[in-house]
Each structure stands twice: as structure tokens, then as C-alpha cells.
Amino acid sequence: MIAYDKLKAHRFEPVVQSYTARDCWLYALGLNIGADPMDPAALRHAASDSPEPVVTMPMMLGRPGPWMQDPEVGIDYRRIVVGEVGLRLHARLPPAATLRADHSILRITDKGAGRGALVTLLRRLTDTGSGRLLAEYEQVTFCRGDGGFAVDGRHDPAPPPSSWTVPDCPADTVLDLATLPQQALIFRLSGDYNPLHSEPEVARKAGFERPILHGLATMGMVGHALDRLSRDSGGPGLASLRARLTGPVIPGEVLRLAVWHEPGSARFRTVDGSGREVVGLGQAEFQNVD
């Protein structure tokens, strides 16, 4: 069971990580960028000697390691999934750099016995050379086996519910995003080794018929598609996004991204081949990022 006081007081050592062109290529391939090896826009991420990092790559940089496995915090690590993510870019990543990541726990919310708990972590990525803040990443982890810990009422209230609704008109843009059967095995090489995404027996014990795609791979594909959609039309590109991961993705499925454009922003959602939503409450902002 979650130990609220110990978890809320958890202090993270700064994470210093260097990445190179190889890491940029690998992350892009883990999003199935380069499926068309003749696409120059894809190759600038997946093959260029001086690659342009995919806009969502900060989500996978400076990770704090498997800290949720620490028995003292009381989280059932085998049953965690990414629930919601938010990314704000302050600068475009260079092709290679050394970054410092600082982490803090923002909220620990008990949804109730049998309903799980939410742990919200903030990561700030800074370039160690210039000291410049490059990105802020917020992740809400859904701890499916840890609801009911707040027997004394000690927990943090959830943020107000989103007012997001599906617009009552057809999407302005609809894109199909193909995933690969082996995509989770490629994406995990960018640093997320949760066996839920690679070991069939672990996936079955967690209630899935087979290993599922990483939530951050799904969000990476969606974020990249939104960024490319803006830039291909002469726009500034993605500056921020926020969305909820509402359903698992089975590697090999084709996802459908629906986008409703607004001045300087967009709303979006993604469904799988059966029409089941896998990404919801999506909001994106577009502006020039140095």
C-alpha cells in the first residue's frame, strides 16, 4: 500500500544524461518514423548525421529510473501505466547534448479502494552547458493496484476535471498512424524497460492478452504527427501538448488521429482500428520554439 508521507517526501537526485545522434535515431525508429525510408522529412529524424530530435523526445530523457520499485513507497510496480502526460517545450533539442533532469512529486491522489491511485511527477530538463531550461514534462502514473491507501484522508485532491469535449463537427484533419508488431521492443531501447511491454506472462498477469505498446510511444507518435502537420502547412510547430491515455494499444494496430484546429492550438483524440479511444482530452499549442 502507498505510504503517503514517505512518497510525498521522496527526494530525487538530479539525473545527468548525455544523448547522441544514435539516441535520436533510436527514439525516432521506436515511433515507427522511417516506415517510408524515402521520406526526407522522416530521415531528418531517423538517419541524418546531425538529426533533428523528434519534438516529444524530452519525454524519454532524464528518466529517474525504476524508483517506484522501492518497497518503502508502497507502489505495486507491476500494475502501473502512464495515465496522462503534459509536455511544454522552451527550446528545441540540439542533435546531441548533456542534460540535467530535476524531479518533484506534485500530487498523490487516492481514487478509492479498487479504483487505483494517481502519482503526478514533474521533470525539468536543463542544458548543462548553457543552463537553459529546455522542457518541462509532467506525467500522471495510474497505479492500478494502489487505491484505498488514504484511510486517514491524507492524499492530494485531483485537479479539476477537464472541460474538454469532442467537438460536434467532423475533424479538420484525420491521420492514420501505423504501429509495428515489434514496436514495443524497439521503443523500450530508449529507456523504458517495464516488462509489461516485452514479457507475455507479465502482460497476462496484468490483465492484457499480450504486451502492450508503451503509452509514451503512442504519445510520441501523436505529438510528432501534430508537429509535422503544423510545420508542413507552414506553421511554427508544436510547443506544448497535454492528453490522457485512455486505452491500451496492441503493437501492430493502426491508430487514427483526429484533429480540430483552432487559432494557435488544436484539440485531438486518437482511436484504434475498432474505434476505441486510446488518447483523449488532447490539447496542443503551436508557436515558434527557438
Q: Is 155 a catalytic residue?
A: no
Say if residues 198 and 211 touch (Cβ distance below 8 Å): yes
3-class DSSP assignment, residue 231? helix
According to DSSP, residue 31 is labeled T
Q: How far is 49 from 2, CA to CA, in rounded Å? A: 46
**Candidates 192, 214, 261, 272; catalytic one:** 192
Residue with cell 538517419: 47
3-state secondary structure 191-223: CCCCHHHCCHHHHHHCCCCCCCCCHHHHHHHHH
Cell of 15: 539525473
Q: Is 192 a catalytic residue?
A: yes
Q: How far is 13 from 231, CA to CA, in rounded Å? A: 37
**Candidates 45, 197, 214, 224; catalytic one:** 197
Q: Catalytic positions, please?
A: 192, 197
